[in-house]
Structures are given as C-alpha cells and as structure tokens.
Amino acid sequence: AALASASFTATAFSPSSYGLLVSTKRVTTNLAPRKTTLHSSLSNNDDDDVLNKLSAELKELAECTSLIYSYLSKPDKSVSAEDVVLACDAVDASSKLRQKSHEFGRYQLLVKLLKSDYDAYVKTAEFLSPSRIPRGELPNVQDVVYVPFTAAANEDDATEETTVDTNVVAVTTVTGEDGQPLVADCTLDELAYNDSPLDKLLLSIFRNLVTTHTGGVTSDIPGIKGLLAQGRQYMTMELPEGVTYEDHTKAQHTMVKNTLGGLMTPVLPPFYRIFMSGIVPKLGTDYDGKQIGPWFYAPWLTSMVTPTFFGFLVGPSKPNRRSDGQRGGLVVEKCKFLQESGCKGLCLHQCKLPAQEFFKEELGLSLTVKPNFVTQECQWSFGEEPVDVVEDDSFPKGCLVGCDSRKVMSGRKSTDVLCM
C-alpha cells in the first residue's frame, strides 16, 4: 500500500504530468477570448441590423412628411383634376406609410379643389369614384352622382376584382296613376342599425316628448318605426274646418322644434348660444341679445358632437366638408329616418325644415340639410345658409313611389304641400 501511494504521488507530480496540466490550462485560456470575440461579433451584427432598420424607417418617415407638406402647401387655386389623378396613381404604386401619406394628400387636393371650383370637384369625384376613390373617402358627396360598385370574379387567377357598373343611379321621376310626378324609391340594400343604450334612451325620451307636443299621438310599435308611426299619424290627421295642410306643416315644424328643445333640456341651448353662436346673454347692457358670432370653431365642433347624440334618429354619420370645402359638414351614411319611413313628407317637415329652423332660431347657427333620395345619404352643413326648398333644384318634386303616407292621404285636397 505504501509503495502504491508513493508511486501515485510520483506519477501525479512528475514533470511530464505537470507539463500536461500547464498545456491544458493554456488551451482553455486561449479558447476563452475566442468565444468572447465570436459573441461580440454576433452582437455587433445585430446592432448594425437594428440601426440600419431604424435609419431606413426614419428616412421613410422624413420622406413621407415631405410628401404631406408638398400636398398641404399647394395653393388651392392651382389644384386641378390631373393632380388628383396623379395622386391616385401614387396611392396605387405605394404601400404602407407612403400609401397612407398619398391618400392623405389626395384628400387634401380634393378639399382644395372643392374650395376653389365646386363644379370641377363634382366632375372629378364622379370620374374617379368609386373605381379609384371609395365614395366614403370623398370630402363631400351631396351632388356627386352615385355609381354602383360591384365585385366580379376573375376566372384567370381566382381572385376578386372590383368593377364599376356603367348604369349611373340618378333621381328618377315617374308619373303616378293620378298624373302627378313621383320620385323613384331607393334601390340600395337596407342598412341594419345597431342602437346603443344611449340611442335607446334618447329615442324613448324623444317619443315621449312627441306624444306631449302632438296632443297625445302615440304608438305601440317599438323603436324608430313607432316614432315614425307617430309622426305619420300626426302629419296625415284629419284637420278641422278652415285649417289647411299648409297650416299644418307649420304645426309639424313647431312640434319638432319644441321636441328638440325639450331633448336638449333648458341648459344646453343658452350655453350653445353664448359659447358657440356668440349671442350676448341678458346682462343689462346695450348688447343684450346681439350676436357677435358664430365663433369660428362652432360649425366644426358641432359636426364632431352631433353623431353621438343624433344617431338614434338618423343612424351612423361622420364629419366631412361642406360644399364650400370648409369644416362643419356631416354626412349621414344611410338615414334611418328616411329608410324606415320611405316618406318625403316626413323627411321634409319633421326633419329637414324644422332642424334648419331650430338651429337658426333657437341656437343661432345656420344649417343646411340636404337628403339624397337615391342613396338615402344626407348632408348636414353647419354654418351654411339653406336655400328655400321651392328654389332648391336638388330637392326633387313629388312623392316617393312606395310612400304609405300618400295612400292614407288619397282623395284629400291640397296635400301636395306635404312633399313639395
């Protein structure tokens, strides 16, 4: 045992063994820096990739910012239809952020054209929409003729391509059985409305106010159709001796204005008149009741707030531009009131005219409401003076073909005033 131990000790600490240990240590020591160098090299490559990507994105952002500035800085009167077409080409040829920049720029060019030359804007919009510009991306659509946009299957590559129907849908006038002109009904698919809890609450309050201001006219039908049943019943009611339907249209306007006033509560109209329309409140001064507004922001701010609180009557809407290109416009996608009623008389005397009168008389802000009976869109332009409906060429004469109110009024005299 002693000899074995001595032999092991001698072998373990022999010069040859010592040399092997030293050599192993050197190898290990030499490998460590190489591992660190390889790791550092990979890390540097990753950092370079990140920096290159960041640099490219910043460059793209700078170029897109320059594009937007070039669109915004272009003088209004220098914009032409050709500029809009070139912007469409740029949208089609780009992607991602650059495409969004060109879309923004195209919209700005359309707004500038709208401000400088309305007729040229309408012709350009009709030429490019919907084949190259979706109708919903136009700054104003009130006089832009609607063209159907359909999808057709491409048999070659089994993909879907969009095509434009060559049959333009315009207001069509036909002759009724009694020889009177009638306006063709909307042929577009009906829109399904999803009422929010706020919409349902406001509709309930509004219907109760209508019952109050019509002397008890009510209906068991739920929702917006029940409201329209109330309105139709009030519009077509038998009148006392000596009262004409022309007189009754004024009564309808008064009813709607009183209902709108009740909906806004006694607090909101005075607040609006002061801070939006610039009407001096009664303070015992010589300026009491005088209007020094509307303030510059009133039309725009009103168009931003209205969709939330009037959706229960008209359905989805969004701010857009007025016919003069200024902010303060609002376009109703497909009017709930018109779609569900199918009645020009209700549209005219229980929405358009009383709304215009209410905003002017009670709130101090002009308003133009222009329904489109082909698409059932509706353009609201706050701060824009309305044209008398008798002189408004865009408002077609006669009743709608499928109107139920006309059937109720059949045989009565002087009812043409209901639909103009």
Residue 203 structure tokens: 């509709």
pLDDT above 90 (res 19): no
Beta bridge partners of 154: 159
User: How far, in Å, CA of 251 to CA of 371, rounded?
Assistant: 22
Reference 359, options 323, 328, 391; nearest CA is 328
Strands 181-183 and 317-321: unpaired
> Averaging pLDDT over each range in 175-179, 254-258, 411-415, which range is the top one?
254-258
What average pLDDT is seen over the chain? 86
Q: How far is CA 311 from CA 206, 314, 358, in A?
A: 12, 5, 18
Are 191 and 333 spatial neighbours (Cβ–Cβ below 8 Å)? Answer: yes
More confident residue, 285 or 114: 114
- How buried is 282 (Cβ within 10 angstroms: 0-12 exposed, 13-18 middle, 19+ buried)? exposed
pLDDT of amino acid 18: 45
Pick from 174, 251, 180: nearest CA to 406: 180
pLDDT of residue 170: 60
Higher pLDDT, 332 or 24: 332
| Residue spans of alpha helices (H) in 117-244 | 118-128, 197-213, 223-235
Residue 377's contacts (CB-CB under 8 Å, 6 or more residues apart) are 141, 142, 331, 332, 333, 334, 335, 371
pLDDT of residue 21 exceeding 80, the answer is: no
**Measured distance CA(386)–CA(213) in Å, rounded:** 26
| Cα–chain center distance at 366 | 21
**Alpha helix (H) ranges present in 241-381?**
245-264, 268-275, 298-314, 336-341, 344-347, 353-358
- Residue 40 one-letter amino acid: S
pLDDT at 372: 95
DSSP 8-state class, residue 138: S
378-382 and 327-332 beta bridge pairing: antiparallel
DSSP lists the bridge partners of residue 279 as 291
What band does 119 get if pLDDT is binned at 50, 70 and 90?
Answer: very high
CA 113, distance to chain mean position in Å, is 20
pTM for this predicted structure: 0.83
Per-residue DSSP letter, 283: S
For the chain, percent of residues with pLDDT exceeding 90: 68
Amino acid identity of 82?
Answer: E
Question: Residue 227: is its pLDDT beyond 70?
Answer: yes
For the cut 80, the answer to whether the pLDDT of residue 126 exceeds it is: yes
Residue range 38-78, pLDDT digits in tens: 566 666 777 778 888 899 899 999 999 999 999 999 999 99
CB atoms within 10 A of CB 264: 16
Residue 215 class from Cβ within 10 Å (0-12 exposed, 13-18 middle, 19+ buried)? exposed
pLDDT at 140 over 90: yes
Span 344-361, average pLDDT = 96
Q: What are the angstrom distances between the C-alpha of 105 and each of 228, 247, 389?
A: 42, 50, 36
Lowest mean pLDDT among 80-89, 94-103, 112-121, 410-419: 410-419
pLDDT at position 415 over 70: no
In this prediction, residue 373 has a pLDDT band, given cuts at 50, 70 and 90, of very high
Q: What is the model's pLDDT at position 43?
A: 67
Nearest to 313 by CA among 344, 276, 352: 352
Q: What is the pLDDT of residues 184-194, one digit of tens each?
A: 999 999 999 99
How many residues would you count in the chain? 420
Confidence label for 410 from pLDDT (cuts 50, 70 and 90): confident
